Each structure stands twice: as structure tokens, then as C-alpha cells.
A and B are shown apart, each in its own frame.
Chain A
Amino acid sequence: MDVLSAFEILVKSMLFASAPLIFTAIGGVFSERSGVVNIGLEGLMVIGAFAAVVFNITFASALGGWTPWIALLAAMVIGGLFSLLHAVASISFRADQVVSGVAINFLALGLGVYLIKDWYGAGQTPQIPVPLYYERIPLLYDIPVIGPIFFNNYITSYLAIFIAIGAWFVLFKTPFGLRLRSVGEHPMAADTMGINVYRMRYLAVFISGIFGGLGGGVYAQTITQDFSAGTITGQGFIALAAVIFGKWHPLGAMGAAMFFGLAQSLAIIGSSFPLLADVPNWILLSAPYILTILALAGFIGRADAPKSIGKPYIKGSR
């Protein structure tokens, strides 16, 4: 295999595998920046994948080529609504946010598979009729050498990058973003300045639900193309790792998600690269997790969480 085609495979599989992680990680950044831990990202991806697949199967004949895109919208709506459970528990009911996230993960998988069995009579849906395909970007695709590598991928891969940049802008360049971050750092100070802490946190968790759902929907419609209990197995936790490895910054999270996506795909296709053939694949599969632990331990730059993360805000308490 020559260098160029190896490079092409690497780039394509990185973009392919990382898009769902980027979406979900961006959602995680919003939630955690507002001070709400979101272990439930996994569950949000599950429910998004479920919604997208069911929508795709149900409406494919009516909507034709637009189906996967509208299915993604459905996944976002369902993901957003589902995340409100986490919001109610962890913001209003002062639940331990980690426990509430665990409940979200259980509920998403239980509900998803329960309904699939009830509706399709099996633990696995049929294949979706209209998945997402590689698309050539007009003009850019015609650039020699790099065109076919960078501009013949899933549209969702580009969308993920745009969303990450957009999230950076919203969080760091707008008043809304400043308020959201202030609520996660020092909610009492934010409250004193007239920011509604509860509303900001609800919004942030809702946004994480939207993006988590989107991530799940993209994953299901590009990679697995059906839904079962085994559709989302740990991708949400990889996204969570990306949030931390990316130091709670949207662009950092995007970079981390791309890197983790690459590691995941290398674990599958790595044996075709001479350099990687000798690396046991459990190391590649575990790379995101090992690196995140090292990052947290401060070996790869210090990763500091938002100050008030994980603490329910109780008005009037000190």
C-alpha cells in the first residue's frame, strides 16, 4: 500500500468514526460547562440512534432522499426531551448528577430495546432503507490529490466540524455563553448578577440532549444502519472522555473526538498498516481511555473541570 492511499484511508475513517463523537462531545461541553455532569451522554446517543432508525424505517417511503436528514431532526428532538429527565432530577430534585446520568443510560437502553421488541417483534430492527452516503462536494472534489480524500465524505462529518466551531463561538464570544459558563463556575455570583441559574442549566442540559441525540442518530445512520442493544456500546463514554481530554473546550473536544475516532478505526483496520500490525488491538481500543486518565492526572497538560461541576445549586445556601 502506498503512502497516499494509506493516508486516504486514515483521513476518511477518522472523519467517519469521529463525527458522532464530536456532536455528542459538544453536547457534553455545554452541559458540563453549566455545572451539570453528564454521564448520560451514552443514553442520549442510544435514544438518538433509536429515534433516527425508527423514523427512517417508518417514513422512508414517504420522504425518500430526505429521510435520513429529517430522521436526524427527530433524533435531536427526542434526545432533547429525554435529557430533560436528567435536568429535572439533577437541577430541580437535587439528585446526584452521576447517579441520575446512570439512570438515563439504563432508561434509554431499556426503553429503546423494549419498544423495538414491541414494534418489530425482535431485538433488532431491520436495516434502515435510506442511510447516509458519502457525498462528493462539487468543485472541491475536483482538486487533484486532496479532493478525493477530503471532499468525498459524509456531509455529517463536515457538519460536526462546523458545529464545533459554532459552539466555540457561542460559548466564548456571546453573552449567552458567558452566562452559561459563569453558572458552572460560580452559580451564586451568577445568580447575584441576575442570571437565572436554573434556567441556564436546564438549557445547557437540553442542548446536550439535542447534540447527544444527533450524535446517536448520525452513528446509527452511517455506521450500524439498524438499532439493537448493541448499537451504541461506549461511544457516549468516549465522547465524555473527549470532553475531558479536550479540557471542556468545544474545539479541544472536537480534536480529542477526532483523535479517539482515529484510534477506534485503527483498532479495526490497523492490521493493514505494517507499523501498527504488532500493536495489540486492545491498546488501540483503550487508547482514548488511557489518554484521558493521563490527561486528568496532569501528565498531558492539566485538565481542570468547571469549578461548580456536579454540585446542585440551592438558592440561598452558602
Chain B
Amino acid sequence: MFNQFSRWQKIMIPVISVVLGLLVGAIVMLVSGYNPIEGYAALLSGSLGEGFYIGETIRQITPYIFAGLAVAFAFRTGLFNIGVEGQLLVGWVASVWVGLAFDLPKIIHLPMAILAGALAGALWAFVPGLLKAKLRVHEVIVTIMMNYIALHLCNYLVRYVISDGQNTTDRVPESASLKSPFFETLTEFSTMHYGIFLALAAAIIYFVVLEKTTTGFELRSVGFNQHASEYAGMNVNRNIILSMVISGAFAGLGGAMEGLGTFGYGFIHGAFSGVGFDGIAVALLGGNVALGVILAAALFGILKQGALIMPLESGVPTELVEIVIAIIIFFVASSYIIAYLLQRLKKGAK
């Protein structure tokens, strides 16, 4: 998406978008009679002010990194995976299912449950990948549809298959849990878990696979120009499917973090968690590179966690952050106009 822009613009566009998003948020607060400085102060202290909040923020950042990597990976191959939400859900339920179904030592059980999440997500993304590769069906619509199928299927599984007509499953046993007593004590008993290490490791894997391997080169090449890649002897169809599958695996891992770490169980979702859709914003804001995704995920984690405390401390409704995020997406998407204005500004300065 940013291919046509210079390096300087690539850095400035996300920064300006975030500033504009926060500015619009401040205006909304002003208009509805709140003090924006108090509001944002409450947001900051609610996400970074105490050990407990820091733990919760890091816990929130974890799935955002995975969701952001998932969307970004597909973007780099020229695909738009808007189905992270659904892939995350199936990953969540699959990991909890494996967590509950087996009784094994932790060293086998935990990796197996995590892998189950990745596999489920990959499988869910395989369908749109296959349809795109073989039948040229646009992946955006298929992934959206797969989201809702995932939602209904997972709810069914949780209620009738994994549990016995309940709204939640049992807790996964200690042998399949990512919970971290060490972090919990360190952060005044927040729900922070070991997932953050996996998220950072995933970001490194993302970087290595995409930038340092032949496969990654092929994937990016297909993203730039399918015809040229095909002419160069690459298998475009295989790369499209591979890209979706890897993207889905990242998303499924994000779900496993929620299932095995944050919550420790699965439950009936009335609607989507929103993490998958936020992942689109994370990827765009992070410019689809590993470090960018981590930074953007951190920003979103801070915003989301702080938003929960805002109403208590300053009276500002939590949803202010949704508005801010929407505006940020809006401006990142409209990067053309920002780049254009930046250029005009630069010319004016000369």
C-alpha cells in the first residue's frame, strides 16, 4: 500500500494519522463537554500508570501483534485478509479443545494446544486462499463470510461439543495453560501471561521468513507483480495459498493466546471480539513490517486498555477510543492525500 511513497513519507504518514486521530478524539471530548487533557491523562494512567495496568496492557498487546502480523503478511503478498477475526476465533476454540481433551505433561501438551490454534487458523484461511488461487474469487468477500461461519460454528462447538450446553467451556488444565504466576505477582495480579514472548518471537519469524528466505522473496514478489513472478517461474497459485495459510496461522496463534492465556477457556461470542478487525489497523499503521506492527500493536494495546479506565477516572465513555481508532484507519487509508499535502508543505518550505 505504501509502495509509491518515500521512506520519509512512510514514517510520517502513520505518525500524522495517529496525531490526527487523537486530535479528533480531543475535539469529540470537547464538544461533548469533557476535558480532553483529563481524558487522555486518564487513558495513559489507566494503561501505564500502575503495575497492574501495565500487565493488562501487555496482555492486550499480545493478540494485537498476532492479528497485525496476520493481516500484514497477507498484505505483503498482495492479499487482503479481513478474516483474521474468524481465524482467531477458530484458533481460540481449537486450542482450548486440545487443552481440555488431553492429559499430557506440560512440555508436550502446551505446544500441542498452541499448534492446534495455529493449524485451525491456517485451515480457516486455506479456504479463501484456495478459492483465490484456483477460481480467482476475491478473498475479501470470502474471508468476511468465513468470519461469520466461524462465529456460529465456534459458538455451536463451545455449547454442544466441548461443553455440555454451557455458555463457557471448562478451564484448560495447568498443563496447557500460558498463565504466568511470575508475571501475575510482578504486576499486582494482572492477567499478563507468557504469550507476549510468543508474540515477539512470531514477529521475528515474520521478519526472517519474509525478508530473508527464498519463500519470502517469492511471496513478496507475487505481491508486487503476479505476472512478472509467473514469468520468472514462480508458482503464483501456490504462493497465494501459502500466504493465506501462514497469515491464518498467525491469527490462529492470536486466538490461542486468548484461549490458553488471557481467559483460559472458550465462551459463546455474541459478536466479534474486534481484535481481528483492529489487526487491519495495526498492520496498516505498522506499514506491514515486523517492528512497525509491534509498535502499532503497543499503541493499540495502550489505547484499548486505557479506554477501560477512562470512564472511571474522567467520565469519558470507553468508545472514545473506537472513534480515535476509526479516524486513524481513515487517515492511514487516505495516505495519498497526506503524502500529497506533505509534498506541498515541503515545496512551500523551499
Which chain A residues border B28 with CB–CB below 8 Å? 114
The reply to whether A286 and B144 form a contact with Cβ atoms under 8 Å apart is no
Which chain A residues border B80 with CB–CB below 8 Å? 96, 98
Q: Could you tell me which residues of chain B, from 298 to 350, have a CB within 8 Å of some CB in chain A?
A: 311, 317-323, 325-327, 329-330, 332-337
Which chain A residues border B330 with CB–CB below 8 Å? 85, 89, 95, 100, 103, 107
Which chain A residues border B284 with CB–CB below 8 Å? 99
Interface string of B107-147 (1 = CB under 8 A from A): 00000000000000000000100010001011011101111
For the complex, is A2 an interface residue (Cβ under 8 Å from B)?
A: no
- Contact pick for A234, options B148, B317, B318, B332, CB 8 Å: B148
Q: A106-B326, A114-B322, A233-B270 are in contact. Are A292 and B336 (CB under 8 A)?
A: no
The reply to whether B323 and A297 form a contact with Cβ atoms under 8 Å apart is no
**Distance A99 CA – B17 CA, assembled complex (angstroms):** 14
The reply to whether B334 and A95 form a contact with Cβ atoms under 8 Å apart is yes
Size of the A side of the interface (Cβ < 8 Å), in residues, is 48
Which chain A residues border B32 with CB–CB below 8 Å? 114-115, 118
For the complex, is B43 an interface residue (Cβ under 8 Å from A)?
A: no
**Distance A92 CA – B336 CA, assembled complex (angstroms):** 10
Q: Could you tell me which residues of chain A, from 81 to 96, have a CB within 8 Å of some CB in chain B?
A: 85, 89, 92-96
Q: Could you tell me which residues of chain A, from 276 to 313, have a CB within 8 Å of some CB in chain B?
A: 280-282, 285-286, 288-290, 292-293, 296-298, 305
For the complex, is A240 an interface residue (Cβ under 8 Å from B)?
A: yes
Q: A102-B280, A293-B146 are in contact. Are A107 and B137 (CB under 8 A)?
A: no
Q: A113-B319, A233-B270 are in contact. Are A286 and B153 (CB under 8 A)?
A: yes
**Distance A92 CA – B151 CA, assembled complex (angstroms):** 35
Interface string of B240-282 (1 = CB under 8 A from A): 0000000000000000000000000000001100000100110
The reply to whether B145 and A289 form a contact with Cβ atoms under 8 Å apart is yes
Chain B interface size, under 10 / 10 to 19 / 20 to 34 / 35 or more: 35 or more
Which chain A residues border B322 with CB–CB below 8 Å? 106-107, 109-111, 113-114
**Distance A117 CA – B336 CA, assembled complex (angstroms):** 35
Q: A102-B277, A107-B326, A234-B148 are in contact. Are A244 and B141 (CB under 8 A)?
A: yes
Which chain A residues border B336 with CB–CB below 8 Å? 93-95
For the complex, is B23 an interface residue (Cβ under 8 Å from A)?
A: no
- B20 CB to nearest A CB, Å: 12
- A101 CB to nearest B CB, Å: 9
Q: A110-B323, A241-B145, A289-B148 are in contact. Are A98 and B153 (CB under 8 A)?
A: no
The reply to whether B319 and A289 form a contact with Cβ atoms under 8 Å apart is no
Q: A230-B270, A233-B271, A280-B156 are in contact. Are A39 and B144 (CB under 8 A)?
A: yes
For the complex, is A237 an interface residue (Cβ under 8 Å from B)?
A: yes
**Distance A118 CA – B140 CA, assembled complex (angstroms):** 35
The reply to whether B152 and A293 form a contact with Cβ atoms under 8 Å apart is no
The reply to whether A297 and B334 form a contact with Cβ atoms under 8 Å apart is no
The reply to whether A297 and B131 form a contact with Cβ atoms under 8 Å apart is yes
For the complex, is B239 an interface residue (Cβ under 8 Å from A)?
A: no
**Distance A282 CA – B158 CA, assembled complex (angstroms):** 12
Q: A39-B144, A282-B153 are in contact. Are A103 and B326 (CB under 8 A)?
A: yes
The reply to whether A114 and B317 form a contact with Cβ atoms under 8 Å apart is yes
**Distance A234 CA – B144 CA, assembled complex (angstroms):** 10
Interface string of B42-81 (1 = CB under 8 A from A): 0000000000000000000000000000000000000010
- Name the residue of chain B whose CB is nearest to the CB of A117: B317
Which chain B residues border A103 with CB–CB below 8 Å? 326-327, 329-330, 333
**Distance A229 CA – B247 CA, assembled complex (angstroms):** 29
The reply to whether A296 and B131 form a contact with Cβ atoms under 8 Å apart is yes
For the complex, is B155 an interface residue (Cβ under 8 Å from A)?
A: yes
The reply to whether B149 and A110 form a contact with Cβ atoms under 8 Å apart is no
The reply to whether A282 and B326 form a contact with Cβ atoms under 8 Å apart is no
**Distance A270 CA – B182 CA, assembled complex (angstroms):** 50
Which chain B residues border A244 with CB–CB below 8 Å? 141
**Distance A129 CA – B322 CA, assembled complex (angstroms):** 29
- Contact pick for A110, options B82, B137, B145, B326, CB 8 Å: B326
**Distance A233 CA – B155 CA, assembled complex (angstroms):** 15
- B325 CB to nearest A CB, Å: 6
**Distance A296 CA – B127 CA, assembled complex (angstroms):** 13
- B191 CB to nearest A CB, Å: 23
- B280 CB to nearest A CB, Å: 6
**Distance A102 CA – B147 CA, assembled complex (angstroms):** 14
The reply to whether A114 and B271 form a contact with Cβ atoms under 8 Å apart is no
The reply to whether A286 and B148 form a contact with Cβ atoms under 8 Å apart is yes
Which chain A residues border B144 with CB–CB below 8 Å? 39, 237, 240
- Name the residue of chain A whose CB is nearest to the CB of B337: A93
Which chain A residues border B332 with CB–CB below 8 Å? 99
For the complex, is B37 an interface residue (Cβ under 8 Å from A)?
A: no
For the complex, is B204 an interface residue (Cβ under 8 Å from A)?
A: no
Which chain B residues border A39 with CB–CB below 8 Å? 82, 140, 144
- B2 CB to nearest A CB, Å: 11
Q: A89-B334, A94-B336, A289-B148 are in contact. Are A106 and B137 (CB under 8 A)?
A: no
Q: Could you tell me which residues of chain B, from 142 to 185, have a CB within 8 Å of some CB in chain A?
A: 142, 144-149, 151-153, 155-156, 160
Which chain A residues border B140 with CB–CB below 8 Å? 37, 39, 98
- Name the residue of chain A whose CB is nearest to the CB of B320: A114
Which chain A residues border B137 with CB–CB below 8 Å? 293, 296-297
- Contact pick for A93, options B147, B323, B334, CB 8 Å: B334
The reply to whether A285 and B152 form a contact with Cβ atoms under 8 Å apart is yes
Q: Show 12 residue pairs from A and B whose CB-CB distance is below 8 angstroms, ordered by the A residue.
A: A95-B334, A95-B335, A96-B333, A99-B332, A103-B326, A107-B327, A111-B322, A237-B145, A281-B156, A293-B131, A293-B142, A305-B138
Contacts A93-B334, A107-B323 known; list 5 others, CB within 8 Å: A95-B333, A100-B330, A106-B277, A110-B325, A234-B148
Q: In the A-B complex, list the 8 residue pairs whose CB atoms are closest, starting with the nearest.
A: A110-B322, A107-B326, A106-B326, A93-B334, A95-B333, A289-B145, A282-B156, A117-B317
Binding site for A on B (CB under 8 A): 1, 28, 32, 80, 82, 127, 131, 135, 137-138, 140-142, 144-149, 151-153, 155-156, 160, 270-271, 277, 280-281, 284, 311, 317-323, 325-327, 329-330, 332-337
